[in-house]
A and B are shown apart, each in its own frame.
Chain A
Amino acid sequence: MTLLQVISLSKDFAGLHALESVSFSAERGKILGIIGPNGAGKTTLFNIISGIYLPTAGEILFQGKKILRMKAHRISHLGIGRTFQIVRPLNNLDVETNVLVAYGHRIYPSLWKSVRACRQREALQEVRGIMERTGLKAYSGTLAGNLPLGFKKRLEIARALALQPKLLLLDEPSGGLRYEESFQLMELIRMLRDQGIGILLIEHNMQVVMDLCERIVVLDHGIKIAEGVPEEIRSNPQVIEAYLGRETQHA
């Protein structure tokens, strides 16, 4: 089932073409990898889908609904959760509270409900369940700013899960992590996929991408240069060129 359709999306930053007519779609219960060299436009793509930037042209449909001019918080209410490549924990709040903020997305629209105490049993139960699934339970009372990087990355995912997402945008979840940490994180991502969540994954570690993704989209300088299953991408000459550079011609 198609969850997300991105249709000829373009974004210019003062003359720089960050994205040029990029199209693809993502499905429920599948992991779609988004790869490409630095500056290929991957994070820009996420920022547009999650409502932080407006694109110059194009359309995005989520479950058949246009989401383009919606504000970020509306998009998260629809069920698109995202993580940030450079983690953005709410530093001076503890881990549990960080997740609770996202749980509140279903309460904030009603002023009457918003006035009530936020630490009710029902909310805390779900938040604790999410912390358990993401391996954050032991850190529930720790200030988010004091977490080690690996757990900050998990917190990003935990918060996104509290949005009850149908689609998760994961921006380099394993960046900067040690091997074991990133291995555990991949297990978590697989588990989420098996629960039926659609996942868009930006990732630099090729091993991870090839292992995890059902399909891969390759961006280079804002243009989609390839899309396919991992084997196709691995042997695609254009992709190899984008990553390794053109072979010099000898006269």
Chain B
Amino acid sequence: MSGYVVTILITIAIYAILAHSLNIITGHAGQISLGHAAFFGIGAYTAALFYTKAGLSFWIDVPLAALVAGVVGAVLGIPCLRVRDDFLAITTMGIGFVVEAVFLYIPFFGGAMGIGGIDLPMWAGREMTKSEYLILILVVLGTLYALDYILGRSWIGLAWSSIREDEQAASALGVDIVRFKVMAFILGSALAGLAGAFYAHFLTFIMPYNFGFGQSIMILCMVVFGGIGTRWGPIVGALLLGLLPEISRPIMEYRTLLYGLLLVAMMRFQPSGLLGADSFLVVYFTKGLNRIRGGEVKA
């Protein structure tokens, strides 16, 4: 594989972890977040600082990044527990702005210049190649998906769906909504932090700009495009939005225009995402499958 392809695939795999982490909060538990890039950033900065300033190795700073992002997610999740819907959207947006500003204005975090010199991990006495790094990230992604499968079938997954559907009814049915929302915030933030750590070691150089509002919206778009709340949606969304800038390279100047149009078209024609229940893909696929099985084709 050429270095160019590997680079794109690594970006997509990191985006997939990131989109998956938001899917836990927004898709599974139904809590909108417009500030998810903050946790991506907290992970990236934690890893970068531990690596460059404390001299810890990649293998230690990555779990630490997830841990720190998870803890901050729990703390910042507290103001989010009492607000819903549009108020929650604004609150999480505020959190995003605050975190970005902290990175930008506190000299410890390197200011606008960011932090550099974050290398790829060492492995068997030498620096990992990009292909090996890709495999590592894919293994992590696979593990997270196995975990998601287990959680999806568990009582936690059930409690999350009930909160997503109707908080007040859920609480009358014995679901401790605060507890389960906090769980979703912690897990989602920690995994975003994990993605951030991988991102930092891959870019080798991070700046506050990488973790701003635009990035938060980008993550949300991946989840929505792929199919919010579906298991594989985040990967599809990450593929789509990861490839788009590459495909549209010849029309560089119009890239944002293309994004915008796609976003509008998706919301108008496929609001449940490419893998959502009433998506044209899912409908055709089910029809085809039924035809192969010789079963009745649902009209």
Contacts and interface: CB of A to CB of B under 8 A. Distances in A.
Interface stretch (A30-38, A110-118, A187-195, A220-228): A110-118
Interface of A: 50-52, 71-73, 76-77, 81-82, 84, 88-93, 97, 100-102, 104-109, 113-119, 159, 162-163
Given A82-B172, A104-B174, A119 B153 contact: yes
A93 B162 contact: yes
B158 A118 contact: yes
A101 B172 contact: no
A214 B168 CA distance: 31
Given A72-B172, A114-B154, A118-B154, A108 B165 contact: no
Given A92-B165, A93-B162, A118 B174 contact: no
B171 A114 contact: no
Contacts of B296: none
Contact of A116 (B155, B169, B174): B155
23 contacts: A51-B171, A73-B171, A73-B174, A73-B176, A88-B169, A91-B165, A93-B161, A100-B158, A101-B158, A101-B170, A106-B174, A108-B175, A108-B179, A113-B155, A114-B155, A114-B156, A115-B150, A115-B155, A115-B156, A116-B155, A118-B153, A162-B173, A163-B174
Nearest to B162: A101
Contacts of B151: 115
B228 to A, nearest CB: 12
B255 to A, nearest CB: 35
Contacts of A84: 169, 172
Contacts of A159: 173
Contact of A105 (B166, B168, B175, B177): B175
A77 B174 contact: yes
A108 B175 CA distance: 7
A109 B176 contact: yes
Question: Chain A binding site: helix, strand, loop or mixed by DSSP?
Answer: loop
B177 A73 contact: yes
Is the interface on chain B under 10, 10 to 19, 20 to 34, or 35 or more residues? 20 to 34
Contact of A104 (B155, B166, B171, B172): B155
B196 interface: no
Interface in B75-120: none
A117 B154 contact: yes
Interface of B: 150-151, 153-159, 161-162, 165-166, 168-180
Contacts of B162: 90, 93, 101
A88 B168 contact: yes
B181 to A, nearest CB: 12
Nearest to B174: A105
A92 B179 CA distance: 22
Contacts of A89: 169
B159 A104 contact: yes
A51 B286 CA distance: 44
A106 B173 CA distance: 11
A105 B175 CA distance: 6
A109 B215 CA distance: 36
Contacts of A105: 173-175
Contacts of A108: 155, 159, 174-176, 179-180
A117 B173 contact: no
Contacts of B150: 115, 117
Nearest to A110: B155
Contact of B158 (A52, A73, A104, A113): A104
Contact of A90 (B157, B166, B174, B176): B166
A166 B180 CA distance: 26
What are the 10 closest A-B residue pairs judged by CB atoms, nearest first?
A105-B174, A90-B165, A88-B169, A102-B173, A72-B171, A114-B155, A76-B174, A101-B162, A118-B155, A117-B153
A107 B165 CA distance: 20
A118 B157 contact: yes
A71 B81 CA distance: 14
B260 to A, nearest CB: 29
A90 to B, nearest CB: 4
Contacts of A113: 155
Nearest to A87: B169
A113 B156 CA distance: 9
